[in-house]
Structure 1
Amino acid sequence: MHILVVDDEATVRRIMRVALSKAGYRVTLAENGESALAAIRAQEPDVLITDIEMPRMDGRALCAAIKKEFPYREFPIFVVTSLTEREHRDWSGAIPNLHFLEKPVSIRQLTARLGESVGTETVIMKVGR
C-alpha cells in the first residue's frame, strides 16, 4: 500500500515515514498541499495523511483540490486532528470518504484504522495543531 504523508513539519514526516515503512507501507512525503497534489498527479496514493495548517496550500484547500481534480478517486481520506469535529463540519461534509482521527494518534491506532477501513486502500489527513 502506498501512503502519501503531507505535513509541513519535517520531524512529523520523518517519524511517520519510519513508522509506516516498518509497518510494511510504501511512503511518499510532501511538505504542503501543492507538493502533495504534484505527488498525486505523478502517482495516486492508496492513502493520504496530511496536516491542515500548512503554508502555500493548507489541508482544506488540498481536499477541495483533490475533490475537484480527482472526482472519481477511490482512496479514503483520514484526518488526524486536535480540533473538534464541529469545527470541520462546514468543509468536511463536501469531501467524500473523509475520516478523522484524534491527536495524538499512535502508529498502532493508525495502522489499525488503515486495516479496518479499506484493508489495503486508505487516505489519512493530519489536521490541526
Structure 2
Amino acid sequence: MKRILIVDDEPHMTHVLKLYLQRAGYSVETVPNGQVALASILKNAPDVMVTDIQMPIMTGKELCLALEEQYPERMFPIFVMTSMVDREHREWTQKINNLKFLEKPLSMRALTRELDKHFGIESLASAVASGVASHV
C-alpha cells in the first residue's frame, strides 16, 4: 500500500484528506508542521508528500527547501497546496525537483487523480469512461 504523508496544521483539512485518501486505498500519515514532517521523512520516506505552505514552526516552503538540502536524492513527489496564488508564492516551487503546485480549495478527485497518475493506477472513473467508449 502506498504511503502518503500529509503536512498541514488544520485538523479539519488533515482529517478530510486522510479519510478520502484511505478510502481511495492509500495509507496516510498526518503531521501538523514541517518540523515534524522532516523528522518523519528522514526516518522513513513516504511515497508522496502533500503539504500546506502556511504552518507554524516550519512552513511548507521551509520544509521543501530543507528536503532539497538534507535529502537531495529524494525520489518521492511533493504536492504543495495553498490558497496563495500570487506569483511570488509560486516562484520558489520551480526550483524544487518533483514538485507540483495545487490550489485550495483542493479538489479531492483532482488530488486522487494526480496520485493515481503518479503511481500508474487507472482511476475507476477513467476505467469506466474507457469501457463505455470502447462499447460505443
Normalised TM-score (structure 1): 0.86
Describe the SS at the equivalent of 1:29: strand
Q: Which runs of 5+ in 2 are unaligned?
A: 122-136
Provide runs of 4+ in structure 1 moved above 3 Å: none
Compute the displacement of 1:66 (Å). 0.6
Letter matched to residue 23 of structure 1: A
RMSD: 1.5
* Aligned mates of 2:4, 2:34 — CA distance in 1: 15
Q: Which structure ranks higher in relative contact order (CA pairs < 8 Å, sequence separation ≥ 6)? A: 1
**What's the counterpart of residue 53 of structure 1?**
54
* Aligned mates of 1:102, 1:33 — CA distance in 2: 19
Compute the displacement of 1:82 (Å). 1.9
Compute the displacement of 1:56 (Å). 0.4
Task: Map residues 89-100 of structure 1 onto 2, 5 A cutoff.
Answer: 89-100=90-101
- Per mean C-alpha deviation after superposition, the further-off stretch among 71-80 and 84-93 is 84-93
Percent sequence identity over aligned pairs: 48
Aligned residues: 120
Q: Which has the larger helix fraction?
A: 2
**What's the counterpart of residue 81 of structure 1?**
82
1:15 aligns with 2:16: yes
Describe the SS at the equivalent of 2:45: coil
* Aligned mates of 2:78, 2:97 — CA distance in 1: 8
* Aligned mates of 1:55, 1:103 — CA distance in 2: 18
